[in-house]
Amino acid sequence: MPKVLYAPASPYSAKVRMAAAYAGVPIEMHKVETGPQPEELTSVNPLGKIPCMVLDDGSSLFDSRAIVQHLNRLSGNALFPKNPARRLEAERLEAWADGICDCLLAHVYERRMRPEEKIHQPWLDLQWSKVVRSLDLLNASPPKFGKKPNGGHIALRATLGYLDLRFAGQWERGRVKLKRWAARFDEKFPALKDCLPA
């Protein structure tokens, strides 16, 4: 059975865990601490990043988008529509959600890795402005989903879960539609809620 190295707080890990759960692909989840760059992680991903999937033959797969595409193939397209235009829309939403997470992680690591006096506020402001712009656009027109989510919806829900975890009280104001979208997602797909960043 494939194994996924993950961290509970990571939005990218959450996306992969949610995608695997929804697609019904059995995987063994193995929690790792990325800070110390343990050999169990760096031996399968020299970048030392999670999530990382270790396949049955011992080879590995990273990053989260590549893993989600692999899960999609294994599940017979449970995560992305076959229609090219709808698939492109789902892939675009996944890339957008991941891009928001990239900005959020840059923000978190700037504060976590630098001494207080060396934190560069213009860098934090730039990253946050990208997040705000994206959330405002998504709130104005939340993506629609029907009876089943696609990989883009799952990525966005993982992103909003990360915002709730690390930026609670900072992102929600004026974004009622986006908060409602997340609540509706959780109501329709309750089994995925346990996979959100924690």
Within this chain, do residues 68 and 97 fall inside the same structural domain, yes or no? no
Give the mean model confidence (pLDDT) for residues 187-194.
Answer: 97
- 26-71 per-position pLDDT tens digit: 999 999 999 999 999 999 999 999 999 999 999 999 999 999 999 9
Instruction: Report residue 109 as tokens.
Output: 């690591």
How much is the pLDDT for 169?
Answer: 95
Asked if the model's pLDDT at residue 181 lies above 90, the reply is yes
- 91-120 per-position pLDDT tens digit: 999 999 999 999 999 999 999 999 999 999
Letter string b/e over residues 139-165, b meaning 16 or more CB atoms within 10 A of that residue's CB? beebbebeeebbbbbbbbbbbbbbbbb
Give the mean model confidence (pLDDT) for residues 80-96.
Answer: 97
The 3-state secondary structure of the chain, one letter per residue:
CCEEEECCCCHHHHHHHHHHHHHCCCCEEEECCCCCCCHHHHCCCCCCCCCEEECCCCCEECCHHHHHHHHHHHCCCCCCCCCHHHHHHHHHHHHHHHHHHHHHHHHHHHHHHCCHHHCCHHHHHHHHHHHHHHHHHHHHCCCCCCCCCCHHHHHHHHHHHHHHHHCCCCCCCCCHHHHHHHHHHHHHCHHHHHHCCC
Within this chain, do residues 56 and 143 fall inside the same structural domain, yes or no? no
Within this chain, do residues 112 and 150 fall inside the same structural domain, yes or no? yes
- 1-17 per-position pLDDT tens digit: 999 999 999 999 999 99
Number of domains in the chain: 2
| Mean pLDDT of all residues belonging to the chain | 97
| Percent over 70 (pLDDT), the chain | 100
Within this chain, do residues 121 and 167 fall inside the same structural domain, yes or no? yes
Which residue among 17, 49, 74 closes a domain? 74
Which residue among 74, 96, 113 closes a domain? 74
Give residue 146's pLDDT band: very low, low, confident or very high (50, 70, 90).
confident
How much is the pLDDT for 176?
Answer: 97
Asked if the model's pLDDT at residue 132 lies above 90, the reply is yes
Within this chain, do residues 122 and 49 fall inside the same structural domain, yes or no? no
- Does residue 198 sit within a domain? no
Within this chain, do residues 119 and 69 fall inside the same structural domain, yes or no? no
Domain hosting residue 18, numbered range:
3-74
Which residue among 42, 74, 106 closes a domain? 74
| CATH number, domain with residue 161 | 1.20.1050.10
Within this chain, do residues 125 and 182 fall inside the same structural domain, yes or no? yes
